[in-house]
Structure 1
């Protein structure tokens, strides 16, 4: 169905006819796109056609008429655009400006309905309020603004505007109230003195009873000292209040105000009495009668408000405190203070918002403090972690946690324990009525990785859950290739830093070519040692390796991939030295030997220390490329790499734990791999004099030596460090 266009010239009728068909017989509906159908619209519909008729149409009947048919098979619509040619509608509302003693400027908007034809011009008319006849001011105004002149002074006028197109003059738009061009506004009403200080006064007044036919554009304030005949300007404003500043303290003043419009200023309105400029002294106070027993109780997550009326002269300084902490405005805390009221609002209240709130009011007349107690009750905080996982077996484990630090103002009734399999997002309930802080979780799947979470509950709700860390072991260290041939490579690695609460029972090894993304499992059964020989390699290809740790709970994440290594037989220079006809010496390249001498440990503190070493005496027949620095706690067997590619003969080890005992080792590396490590003696991470205790009074003068220009005092003092007594010699020089 296509759009149809019908044009009707007043005063004809609108008749829209359309035939339709369909099985089953469709339902036919007429509608108007932008408005409701006229009550004069007559619709006749049968099973095969429909007719819409509007008799004696006018401009309001113009628009889009939509005919829609619909049955079980679907629906179709056709739109008729009906254009009624008529005179235009009334222009928009009339406004005026620039009122003078003999003229006024009128403005208006174009008609909403143009009658189907362009507006040629407007007709502007005026009428005295005491007459009924209209006088044409302009019959050919082409703009939507017109200045009416030659008005009689003091005479109120009505104005109206009509639009005209090729079909005639439309309906007029008329001002509802007459306008007097030359009348000044009435004086403002009731000038009051609202407040005073030692150098200013606040004035307020009401609007005039009438504006004189022109909008009041502002107010003029005047003042004079009492006894003077000369009024001086105090200021101008568009508001109904004004603060006069720069006044002389203890001086009596009189004030008045005038309203201003386009015709001029009104008669003045004086204040009822004069005022003496001075600062009143009134001790601050607050009214807490609206807060029952000065106690506010609310539920966590809601908003509570402390609204207190205050008074005092001068206006008191307001300070809010929660216990000993001064409150400032944040995203949750809002403080609003006026001269007669202060309001503290806390959104999304928490348990930590409970306590005594102190309101302090201070001015020159005194200081007063008022107290309001707020109690926030709600669900408890999360349980205290971490969640400890122990006694891990193939199908069970034991979870242990601590009570929450915040019980929400009510006793903890129970704990809720949930579990989740790795790779899924759904949590499964284990037990929702745990009374103790420990539970044994059973019916777990062997080799499946799980996460657990625990929530506490009181009578107000359930806390946020605390989630456990994974119970599988940490990944092993980065594999290191230490032996290479054309078809095989030997790799080694360090055991995981954390075994997940269950002993590591083996390792899986994967390999891949450097330029592929597909990892292939190498061993069919887990290997028990931290080394493995990979065979069946293709000579000339570059390989990488990674490992997984396996414990009773499952398989860890993959370790970091090893550095790419080419499968090839060892290369290097073989040097044969013939000593005689029967003897020769063969030199075979290898990884470096241990570093020469000992590793020096210096500058030991609670957090770091400095290591220094010498180059190896044996470089393995190849240049030393770098050094590997490692550390381990004496209570563990796992070595942690501190610096994998140290290029110098010293290194600062950081991130040590206070009072932990460490062993460090250094390995030299050449192109054939890492060499033999050199270890240090155990070192404790602590400051050099952290356990020294001084005896400040154990000072003995042992001798005084005098010279011409100076004297020398020699002292001895003693310090105790554990059970060892040490003596120090102190020399004081003074000229």
Structure 2
């Protein structure tokens, strides 16, 4: 019989197969080798089982249909026409398993980037070792800090290293972890260093809307507005009104009002000056961006009735049927030039006034005729402009038409 084969080695290992290789025996026993018989034995068994018989030209073989993660011994027997050699057995057992591994854990730290009242953004880096197979996905899990079990938040593909966990409970502490996955399985998880609590994020408010002037006077303007659509997550605490006299100027604070006020009268403005007003809403975070009024505000005096002529009314040159009256121009023409004066009179015992004369604006005296002798008269004078009549200037006392002799 031949000597046993030599140099039996394992050359490849897979999940369900192992490749072995050997060399022919040094002594064929004087008769050519006809074949080799290959046998296997799990380490869990004492019994060998035949795998196959190969011809003499074959000195390597894939032993298939093995159990994943089971350990095996192999042996090879040479055979000639006389009989079989002693078997050549592998010195150590070999485990059938994939030559690849699961990835190492994702590279930390697991960074929490943004937190809202019900969501958390996170990011990580790929594992340093992919186990020989590309990472195909990541599994993201979370657990409430006070509990022990993990829940799946979602998955992302192997090229994505960010994730947003949604539908979280506000003011609840969470832990997060990420697991890398390849064809061989899941890596150990990368866990967040500390818990994260979703909280309501408060921002600056939006701009007030519909900011406009509703009334403009000689030295004031009434501004109105409506609250911002977005309060930034915190109630509006007030409004700040800013001004500038040129679009190139910096805005300066003019006044502030409470959140309940949606209008404000801006006083002590200069006439014929363009004001560019802006308004900011305020919450506990700070001021919104300024919202500009829809157009510039230019205070100017609006024409109105003049003030009364200045008194007193002086009565001179008193005769039986006539007398002369005089007065002074009003202090204020109402912003519109005077067009004249209205002279009225009444007998002191009567109630109703009668028009005597309409005079030009340059005249401040008039001789009244056709009076009744020994009758007392009262006079009143109104200044006139294009807007209307002033309050009248009334004589201090009645005057009797009588002869000076």
TM-score in terms of structure 2 length = 0.32
Rg comparison, structure with higher value: 2
Structure of greater relative contact order (alpha carbons < 8 Å, 6+ residues apart): 2
TM-score in terms of structure 1 length = 0.19
